[in-house]
Amino acid sequence: MKKTLYTILGLLSVIMVSSFGFASCDDDPDAENYYTFTGEMMSDYLAKRPQYSQFTEIVDRAGLTDLLSAYGHFTCFLPDNAAMDRFLEAKGKTLESLSVLDCDTIARTHLVNMIYSTYEMKEGTLATQNMMRRPITVKATTDDDGNAVIMLNNASIIYFETQNDSVENGIVQPISEVLESSTNTLPDLIELNPKVSLFAQAIELTGLANEMRLYKDPDYTNPETMITYKSGAEPEEAAKSPDDRLYGYTAFLVPDSILDKKYGARYGTDGKMTLEGLYKLACEKYGKSESDSFDNLTDPENPLHKLIAYHILDRNCQGQLTVRNNFGFVTTILNPNEWYTTMLPYSLLKVERVYVSQYLYGAVAGDYYLNRRCDSQFTIYGAHVTTNVGAEYDNNSLNGFYYYVDDILLFDDQTREIVDGVRMRLDFSTLFKELQSNDMRMNGDYSKARESLEDSKNGRYGYNYWFPNGYLDGVTVNDNGYFVYRRPRQGYWSLHGDEFICQGDYDITFRIPPVPETGDWQVRLGYAAMIGVRGVAQIYFGEDPKNLEPQGIPLDMNKDLRKILYNSESTWYEYNSLSADKKQENRKTLKNLGYYYGCNGGYRDTNTSNRFADIYATLRVVLYTGHIEAGKDYYIRIRAVSSKQGNNNEAMLDYLELVPKQVYGVVEDGEEEDDL
């Protein structure tokens, strides 16, 4: 088989990965530098190679040959005839017995509308779903000859000898087995795994399974409108409306064996945990009222209902529990973490990927933990997540994933007061569950920052999205404005390279995540100021989304830290170049003005030394300080009040911070809030 320069890159990538790990793609050259075009389209590639004749026939019967004959940017995970024979035999079918719908499903499962070399495939899931709108899981492994290879969906490897073969309109990745995606919804897939039978029963009997079987909103109609706009310093770019409005879930399940070991002796029977024992455990942890009983598990106030609901996120994280590839986190000083809402109302679950060596305390570096807090003040180990549930079980359902954890999760006093009693930083792409459930967050190739308007429209490197009013839960958008999610790009002045922008004569209201404890809180916005580009917005806050209170004077997003701190547009000293005394002095000055430096644990571009605290354009502003009650909804409204940009006013929203008074109110030297 004729090799291309792309194949050579694939071989080099093998050298660059450590055992069972991937190299960074930060220095990946532009596509123009490593493609060798022969004029052969993907359809030609398939037709000229008899070892792939069965898959070629499937593509043709699915009506996709013309698509693969056109110019585009496809990846084809290509099973040979031997793999197809094994697949058909297991299904009790022949090639001739496959329906057109079967062929369409098989073909689209193996096609991705973006080019991925093995060099660009990172542990977790592929950054773009296949054409069936399903994620493809990615794992580093070795083949029988000891070569470092990629395994897909925990079952099929990309052949080392033939990987990364490029064609005019994409790249071909020959694979060892046919890829399959479960058509089960999450609770039905969980039920097939006997290792988690107790949680499976509890999910069903509490009634949570009924909601978890939801997949697509039948009332959503895609307006099929592509908008164009100018944002920041970029030339014109485009955003599409979402194709669908999908529901999704992510479940953390305690295996029966762990429940037996930890709780069977006290709550179970003969050392084995039972469903009744799980109910007794829940009653002890959450309290039991007179109306609660084992016969009333569907009541949201029932202790077992609460226990199980807290183990389920209200979103499909697409196999990425924190930001993709840790992008934006300086992992030597700050662990990647997220706070997600769950199916337990007004609760938050902390997901943390542990790296910082100072506070490992026996944790496995690079692994995920839930509700963990290990720092200079507290040592709470949390629950360890096992992301790989084993080759015999599939954890990737139609509408979500499930994982194993090594202990039960509780939204108790310790979680609310200690684990969540910190500065909680939430990226705007996690505030709205629809972004994750519909595979929008961190979509595409973030190493490709610059693109033409045409590439922006066709999603060559990923899509930007605009959201019709009502698409995002808890969000209202006026008729004269747009609420846009811009895909991640290296080099952008945003925490993970992605951001939300309010465009036009905007007036947008959104619900903020719930606070875990009633008390005094500070709500902050992380953003990037740009002189002469961004506009001025009035901020409102309160409980009634239709009657919110204005918060101070309008926020001018043209003013950066040079103007705020030094009253100059030319004077700037990078934060990390200052002495400790000068850092503290500047922090106090900014705090008195209602501002903070950008986070020092985040970086832009490809170099972790490019900290946001060192960049004059990246900063945080206090939107609200005051009393907030747990168990209530609160909203922020942001309204354009300037018109100098015409109808191209812009507000940029990067991340939100919820900060309790025990953090923001401390002013003593050495005890005040860290700069991370």
SS (H, E, C) 292-332: CCCCCCCCCCCHHHHHHHCCEECCCCCCCCCCHHHCCECCC
Report yes or no: 71 and 168 within 8 Å, Cβ to Cβ: yes
At residue 77, the 3 state secondary structure works out as strand
Q: Is the pLDDT of residue 263 over 60?
A: yes
For residue 31, the model assigns a pLDDT of 35
The CB-side HSE value for 20 (13 A sphere, CA atoms) comes to 1
> Which residues pair with residue 596 across a beta bridge?
620
Domain boundaries, the chain: 5-175, 184-213+247-422, 438-664
pLDDT in tens, 49-61: 999 999 999 999 9
Give the confidence band of 671 by pLDDT, cuts at 50, 70, 90.
confident
184-213+247-422: CATH topology is FAS1 domain (2.30.180)
Looking up tokens 């170049």 gives: 577
The CB-side HSE value for 313 (13 A sphere, CA atoms) comes to 32
Q: Is the pLDDT of residue 668 over 80?
A: no
* Rounded Cα gap, residues 634 and 631, in angstroms: 10
Q: Is the pLDDT of residue 158 over 90?
A: yes
The bridge status of strand 249-253 relative to strand 400-405 is parallel
Q: Is the pLDDT of residue 521 over 60?
A: yes
Q: What mean pLDDT do residues 632-638 have?
A: 98
Backbone phi, then psi, for 354, in 5-degree steps?
Answer: -90, 125
The bridge status of strand 368-370 relative to strand 383-386 is antiparallel
For residue 609, the model assigns a pLDDT of 86
Higher pLDDT, 292 or 144: 144
Q: What mean pLDDT do residues 322-329 have?
A: 94
For residue 123, the model assigns a pLDDT of 86
* Rounded Cα gap, residues 535 and 652, in angstroms: 9
Running DSSP on this structure, what letter comes out for residue 611? B
Give the confidence band of 448 by pLDDT, cuts at 50, 70, 90.
confident
For residue 618, the model assigns a pLDDT of 97
Percent of the chain with pLDDT over 90: 85
Token reading at 62 = 């699915």
Q: Is the pLDDT of residue 658 over 50?
A: yes
Q: What mean pLDDT do residues 288-309 have?
A: 91
For residue 35, the model assigns a pLDDT of 37
Give the confidence band of 289 by pLDDT, cuts at 50, 70, 90.
confident
For residue 646, the model assigns a pLDDT of 56
CA distance from start to end of the chain: 51
At residue 635, the 3 state secondary structure works out as strand
For residue 39, the model assigns a pLDDT of 73
Looking up tokens 């945990």 gives: 273
Running DSSP on this structure, what letter comes out for residue 415? I
For residue 645, the model assigns a pLDDT of 56
Q: Is the pLDDT of residue 223 over 80?
A: yes
Q: Is the pLDDT of residue 25 over 70?
A: no
Backbone phi, then psi, for 527, in 5-degree steps?
Answer: -155, 175
Q: Do domains 5-175 and 184-213+247-422 have the same CATH topology?
A: yes
Q: What mean pLDDT do residues 251-271 have?
A: 97
Number of helical H runs and strand E runs in the chain = 21, 35
Phi-psi label, residue 245: left if phi above 0, alpha if psi -120 to 50, beta otherwise: beta
For residue 189, the model assigns a pLDDT of 97
| CATH class for the domain made up of 5-175 | mainly beta
Give the confidence band of 474 by pLDDT, cuts at 50, 70, 90.
very high
pLDDT in tens, 587-600: 999 999 999 999 99
Give the confidence band of 228 by pLDDT, cuts at 50, 70, 90.
very high
Q: State the Cα torsion 485-488-490-491 to the nearest 10°.
A: 10
For residue 390, the model assigns a pLDDT of 81
Residue 355's nearest CA partner among 76, 114, 608 is 608
Least confident segment among 29-43, 130-144, 632-646? 29-43
Least confident segment among 22-26, 87-91, 102-106, 144-148? 22-26
Percent of the chain with pLDDT over 70: 93
Backbone phi, then psi, for 587, in 5-degree steps?
Answer: -60, -40
Least confident segment among 33-42, 451-460, 539-548, 574-583? 33-42
Helix (H) or strand (E) holding 585: helix 580-593
Q: What mean pLDDT do residues 450-462 have?
A: 92
For residue 672, the model assigns a pLDDT of 84
Q: Is the pLDDT of residue 37 over 90?
A: no
For residue 1, the model assigns a pLDDT of 34
For residue 276, the model assigns a pLDDT of 96
For residue 7, the model assigns a pLDDT of 36
For residue 449, the model assigns a pLDDT of 84
For residue 647, the model assigns a pLDDT of 60
For residue 12, the model assigns a pLDDT of 34
For residue 249, the model assigns a pLDDT of 98
Report yes or no: 20 and 140 within 8 Å, Cβ to Cβ: yes
Q: What mean pLDDT do residues 405-423 have?
A: 98
* Rounded Cα gap, residues 293 and 266, in angstroms: 19
CATH number at 438-664: 2.60.120.260
Give the confidence band of 267 by pLDDT, cuts at 50, 70, 90.
very high
Give the confidence band of 670 by pLDDT, cuts at 50, 70, 90.
low
Whole-number average pLDDT of the chain: 91
Least confident segment among 288-292, 433-437, 555-559, 644-648? 644-648
Give the confidence band of 17 by pLDDT, cuts at 50, 70, 90.
very low
Running DSSP on this structure, what letter comes out for residue 118? G
Question: Per DSSP, which regions of 143-297 are E strands?
Answer: 148-152, 156-157, 165-167, 170-175, 226-229, 237-240, 249-253
* Rounded Cα gap, residues 534 and 547, in angstroms: 26
